[in-house]
Amino acid sequence: MEADNNHTTKQKLVVFFVLTVFLSSLFGGAMGFWAGSVSGGGLRAADLWHTLSGKAAVQAPPADNGSSGSGAANKVVNQVDEESAVISAVDKVSPAVVSIIITKDLPVIEQYDATPPGMSDFFRQFFGDNFGDFSSPSVPQYRQNGTQQTEIGGGTGFIVSPDGYILTNRHVVNDPTADYTVLMNDETKHEARVLARDPVNDIAVLKIDGENLPTVELGDSSNLKVGQSVIVIGNALGEFRNTVSTGVISGLARSVVAGESGMGSENLSGVIQTDASINPGNSGGPLLNLDGQVIGMNTAMAMGAENIGFAIPINDIKNVYESVKTNGRIVRPWLGVRYSMVDKSVADANNLSNDYGALIVRGDNPTDLAVIPGSPADKAGLVENDIILEVNGQKVDASHPLVNLISGFKPGDKVTLKVSHKGEEKDVQVTLGEAPNS
């Protein structure tokens, strides 16, 4: 019995010794492989764990120029940071982005039988059973049977004050006979009043009744850069509310015609171009930076193209909003001239000394004078064929049209115009007035 126990003990010792040698060899080989990989820039310590645990290792992309891999790590970190910034901005702004529902009383048309009772039977007595049936569905009769509220379109807006001021595009609320309802992110509805439609720019100001409403933060559009990341939020196709898309600023100071079918249009200049998706229904929604600040208002897309959209810079909108909030209407500065922008082709064709500026010209109708009598321009001595070259030192060109430069001031402000008069340049002091019917 004792001999059997000794034999069993020896067997156990042999097995223990063999297992110890095997595990030691395996561990030593793995550590040697890890050390060689680290010295050669290969596997990381985390990869060793995946190897020993039987899990597939995920190799990091090789770093540029033979570096230690920090470049790839930075790319991952930057990507995560931007993704987090987008999520944070959307969470911050979405409650203040609203859908604008457009409804209108439209006639209800019904089909009816135009044959007086018994009339068909009366005529069949004389002309036979084949006499035409006045009530035949092949010749239907229609009439109006009252009206009903019908949804005819939709757009987007954003709340800029806790008491319910909302900014959107003019072409979204262009129909004065329509009714406008604001649908909040929490599904509540508010009747909206249109306080002002900008006659110059594609901007409108609405008001709903409320207090402590969520609002957006208005940013600064004066220092935007091409390539800067942006976010679009809007009521895409009038159906998918608070749809989010991202992209970059593709261009600045573009000139476009903005509008949607049946909603009117506006000629716009100085707008932001972006490749973030702007779909029908997005009009009037915010264009955001990664801090969640509104830097523009989505207003148009290029038909027949992919990912070419446009937004009005927020700095062009602030003055309109403040004017409506303070005065109850849009108070706009006024110079009082009609003009055509000068470029190289115009300068060459007319032998002009400057290939930029605003050439004061008559309109198409005899009543469309170049300088409005009694206007600030008239009082300052400007005349037809003068070329306005600068406004307070800012060059007047395609990127800075005269109307945009003047709109940055208020009625009563004094500005200095550099004017080319019969080929000679001079400075002209003008006190801006208030635009009539503003």
Q: Catalytic one among 47, 198, 202, 316?
A: 202
Residue indicated by tokens 């959107």: 168
pLDDT of residue 118: 54
pLDDT of residue 234: 85
Cα 267 versus chain centre, distance: 17
Q: Which segments within 41-188 are labelled E, that is strand?
A: 97-112, 141-159, 165-168, 179-183
Structure tokens at 360: 């004061």
pLDDT of residue 76: 54
pLDDT of residue 287: 95
Q: Catalytic one among 283, 323, 375, 420?
A: 283
H-helix or E-strand spanning residue 245:
strand 240-259
Q: 10-residue block means of pLDDT along the chain (438 residues)?
A: 52 55 55 49 35 36 49 56 86 93 76 58 57 51 70 87 95 91 90 90 92 95 92 77 88 70 57 86 90 92 78 91 90 90 89 90 86 94 94 89 86 95 92 82
Q: What is the DSSP string of 334-387?
A: E--B-EEE--HHHHHHHT-S-SSSEEE---SSTT--SB-TTSHHHHTT--TT-E
pLDDT of residue 151: 75
> How do 189-197 and 204-207 pair as beta strands?
antiparallel
pLDDT of residue 131: 53
What is the pTM (predicted TM-score) of this model?
Answer: 0.66
Note if 400 is an active site residue. no
Note if 283 is an active site residue. yes
pLDDT of residue 408: 81
pLDDT of residue 239: 65
Structure tokens at 353: 């000394």
pLDDT of residue 50: 33
Note if 202 is an active site residue. yes
Q: Catalytic one among 47, 99, 171, 420?
A: 171
pLDDT of residue 289: 94
Helix (H, G, I), strand (E, B) or coil at 211: coil
Q: Are 360 and 370 in contact (CB under 8 A)?
A: yes
